Structure 1
Amino acid sequence: MKFTHKLFFSITALLTAAFMLFGSFMLFSYFNRMLERETEQGKRENLLFQTIYDMVYQNMEKYGAEFAGIQAGNSATERMTDQNGTECMILETDGTITLEGSLKLPQDEIRSLAEEMIRTMDPGADQVYGVRRVGTCYYLLSIITDQATDSADTVYLGILKDLSGIYEERSNMMRQYGIALAGLLVIGGLAAFLLSKYLTRPIEQLNRTAGRIAGGDFEKRAVYQGTDEIGELSRSFNRMTDRLVRQMEEKELEAKQKEDFTAAFAHELKTPLTSIIGYADMLNSYELTEQERGEATYYIFSQGKRLEGLSHKLLELVGMDRQELEFKKLPTKELEENIRDTMRIPFERKGIRGKIDLQKGVILGDRDLLLSLLYNLLDNAVKAVEEGGFILMKGSKLTQGYEIKVVDNGRGIPKEEIARITEAFYMVDKSRSRKEGGAGIGMALCQKIITLHQGELKIDSKLGEGTVMRLYFPGEIQAVNNKSNRGAKGGI
């Protein structure tokens, strides 16, 4: 059963129960008040009947008890039967009953009711009353004990009132209330249905959105943004969906990177191995001159060294996570001096106008890794610029941390390629990179090193104009208990 239907039936059931309980309480309260009023009136009439009977009896007692009793009964019943719907009776101990009134119930029926009431009278009590049903009618019977004189026999004076009117009124009110209740339930049920649809509409929309996303529409999001719990659920759902989509994209990118890495690695191995195998087969199969043999031997050696360098870089990239790094406070001027000495020859060989200027400061990190990072960035810049180009490495001390910029006026990087150049074996210009001895691992190493130092690498580049690489190093390195900086110590 849908939640809308559950809510509808629940509200309808609650409305029905509330209307029935409230209506029944009101009806029975009203009926009980009417019945109590009629009962009190009957008791008062019965006391008045006794008072009249006693007064007449006492006035006529001098003419004899029998005569006094007859006169008292006639006078009292005559006065009381003026009351509409009231029947008076006098029941003597010998079973004689005198009736007067408009009800016209059979005498035996009235005597039976009276005797039953008298038997239920508590010892010492002089009055008893109750409501009795005769056929389809209801009557109030009130009986009071009377002794006009000490010597007189006990006489029971009774009032019999027809209460059928209030019972009929109760039945009519219950029928009317039943009709009103049916109307209220129809209106209330319609209101409950509309309210249920209104309250559950955001949930239905959220369900449809979830179905669309499950079907592959990952751009779909929940649109309800109310301030209630459903609105909060929608926002949480959207955040969850965004995170899942990002994770899926990351997994897809990771899978593609692994595929590209495998293909690139296989290609990097294939080219030098093909050359090595070809020249080795030539040395083994043909008679070569000394010069040809020397050239073949040199080519085999150079390609072997290339494979060796590639393996060293791969080992460095893979094993960097497992190194025990020792972070220390390193003066930037010391790093500047080392980098300037290292890059002097590459700059001179290509006629590059280079400038290395690191403002005096301190970087927290591993010396060897930082030198490798800076050297790789400058080496990439050397490969990117033409002869006579310009390269600048500028260091600036920040309030919190240190920034190094590497600027060149080389060929630049296409905008769509910038996000991928830190992937292993990824090269923007593959033929030119291989010609210059690159394997596409240098920037992956740089990214790994800057990550280990909890820094940040930003790249700005325009094709044909040059590239700016910004390195940010934090003032402090937070200890993180994970595999990437296991064993880090010092200066934290």
Structure 2
Amino acid sequence: MKLAAKLTFAILLLLALLLNLGAAWLIGSGFSAQLQAAAQQNAAAHRAECYQLQKEMIDTPELETQPALVTRYGQQRTAQAGEGLAILSEDGAFLYSGTGMKNGWQPVLRSVDAGADSMTYAKEGTNVWQLFASPVQWQGRTLWLVSSCDVSEVFQLRNQQLVGFVRLELIAFVGVTLAIWAVSRRLTRPLKTLEETSKAIAAGAYDRRTGMTGTDEVAGLAASFDAMAEAVEQRAQQLDLAVRQREDFVSAFTHELKTPMTSMLGYADLLRSAEVKPEVRQRAANYIYHETKRLEALSAKLMTFIALDPEHKTLELRPVSLAVLAEKAARTLPETCPVQLCWQGFETGCVLGDEELLTALLENLISNGVRAEPKDGLVHISACANSGQVEITVRDRGRGIPQTELERITEPFYMVDKSRARAQNGSGFGLALCDRIARLHGTQLEFESQPGEGTAVRFTIKEAGE
């Protein structure tokens, strides 16, 4: 909802509240006064009717025992007084009923139950009556007289006043709404300019400014906004430069080049500096050749990968053998590695993915497990197929990661223990790369870790069909 609409709505709501409270008080107080006056007048008439019934009891001793006499008396009094009444015996039996109500016996009994000289109300449709009940006694005889006085006009007048007020209020609100809307639109127009400028800046037009002048609060806000936009533009330029520098650095010194390059240099130095057996020379040459080809392909992938959007599947997914992934990932570890890899479920099966990137993903996760210095000297890598998916888990019983660090470990260059990571040739880029590779394959990394207990990293990838 726009601010102008909110202002209009709030003002109208406050105005309606005040007007309706005032009208309710005025109409209600007038209604109460009229109803009280009618009650006093009707109570006086009821008392007079009680005296008349008592006189009739004196003049006609058989009145209580002769239904015909009671009926004639009730009809006469109803015709003379213009008010309804009912006469009941001492035990609550109706001797005469002329209240003017279709179902008057229930309200009459409630009035009698309320006690002497009490007043109750009865309603049928739009008609409302005041009921007054009093016992009339003479020489040990008791009759109950209930007078019913129609006060519908008082309620109808109150309802007419309410209807008239509502009509007048609606007519007034139409005009007031138009006036308030026009004023609100004018007052909020500078805010509209601020909104349009902020959207333009959010879209990349960092040079946009409001250009508003004045001395009021909105003009001051606009000036502060322009100053903020200037600072944002400068900061954005600095961030763009920093991002370009970081991407250049990552492209030139990617984490994935270190371990295979070291092994390749070692084999090359062995071939260059010493005479070795033909089978050793052949094995070293093969390793250097295969790793060079893999790094060549991986480097090309990584250079392209920097510009990829992880939210879209831009990779060409092909069947990749789990056994080949295990073989390539294991081959990257040095022969003197103090940690033993325990593979489970990689003997058969294929997944859909990019072989080089999935190999890099496993290499990084295994390398992190090795660096964690597991207590049992083992890193467990398991693959479990289920419903067309393969869940791959890399688990170690090493140092573990604090829970407060888990949310940030996939950030580029973030290191939980910087001194230890650098001592182990870490760059803080491995898990960031793993996270992006996982997302490019339509999955994500899930971490479970406890300090001193170890870490488990798992991801799920589609299983390749037969």
Do both proteins adopt the same fold according to a TM-score greater than 0.5, normalized to the shorter chain?
no
Give the TM interval when normalised to the shorter protein: 0.3 to 0.5
Greater CA radius of gyration, 1 or 2? 1
Q: Using structure 1 for the length normalisation, give the TM-score.
A: 0.38
